[in-house]
């Protein structure tokens, strides 16, 4: 997307890591219990899972391309809304899915334009480009992180584990970008051409209510 068009919808499936522990144990070839990382805020795992919003999880489950829905850097524009609604109707409502509207870019200073019915919940810091998976640095490297330069930002997270203040989000991006390229096991590897962006996140509950509404088959 161009700098003037840094906004769009994304559909994601939230990952419940407690459900993946048996898979991790199997891959490790051990019967030992695999422990989940401990958050840097006093919440249980289930509380974290229920509260967290943002661009973290598996993006675009099912087969959006078969309907002509082609995400660019992980997002689709508002002009594709009719196709998006058709895609959502074919998704299985059994999965933990969320529909988000996001806005970002070099001139971005705070929340503004959003489709009717979408509710602002905070600012995330996301690794771009987004393709199959969304990666929230706030969740992974601050709330669940170990690097002190990033963990210090947990004092600024809101109920949804995002930032309320765009200046804090941009400051976080600056700090995280300054750490990119350093060989540190406490940090996510950032590939060539990848970068972090501050992203305004909106929940779209009206669109989410259309998930699984198709009368004849759905994606599994």
Q: How far apart are CA 92 and CA 71, in angstroms?
A: 20
Q: Of 25-29, 45-49, 206-210, which gets the smallest average pLDDT?
A: 25-29
80-109 CB burial, b ≥16 within 10 A, e <16: beeebeebbbbbeeeeebbbbbbbbbeebe
Over range 148-160, report the average pLDDT: 97
- Asked if 198 contacts 166 with a C-beta cutoff of 8 angstroms, the reply is yes
Domain ranges of the chain: 3-208
Q: What angle do CA 198, 201, 207 make, to 5 degrees?
A: 150
* Residue scoring higher pLDDT (215 or 213): 213
Band the pLDDT of 146: cuts 50, 70, 90.
Answer: very high
CB atoms within 10 A of CB 145: 22
Task: Give tens-digit pLDDT for 71-90.
Answer: 988 999 999 999 999 999 99
Over range 31-41, report the average pLDDT: 72
Specify which residues 216 forms β-bridges with: none
């Amino acid at each position: 997307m161009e700098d003037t068009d840094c906004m769009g919808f994304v559909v994601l499936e939230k990952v419940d890591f407690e459900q993946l522990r048996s898979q991790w144990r199997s891959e490790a070839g051990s019967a030992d219990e695999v422990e989940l990382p401990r958050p840097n805020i006093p919440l249980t795992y289930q509380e974290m899972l229920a509260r967290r919003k943002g661009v973290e999880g598996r993006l675009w489950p099912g087969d959006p391309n078969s309907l002509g829905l082609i995400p660019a850097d992980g997002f689709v524009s508002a002009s594709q809304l009719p196709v998006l609604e058709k895609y959502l109707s074919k998704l299985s409502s059994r999965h933990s899915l969320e529909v988000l509207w996001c806005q970002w870019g070099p001139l971005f200073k705070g929340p503004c334009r959003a489709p009717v019915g979408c509710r602002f919940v905070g600012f995330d810091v996301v690794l771009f480009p987004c393709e199959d998976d969304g990666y929230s640095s706030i969740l992974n490297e601050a709330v669940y992180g170990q690097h002190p330069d990033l963990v210090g930002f947990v004092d600024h997270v809101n109920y949804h584990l995002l930032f309320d203040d765009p200046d804090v989000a941009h400051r976080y991006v600056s700090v995280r970008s300054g750490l990119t390229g350093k060989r540190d096991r406490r940090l996510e590897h950032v590939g060539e051409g990848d970068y972090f962006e501050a992203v305004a996140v909106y929940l779209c509950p009206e669109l989410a209510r259309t998930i699984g509404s198709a009368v004849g088959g759905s994606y599994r």
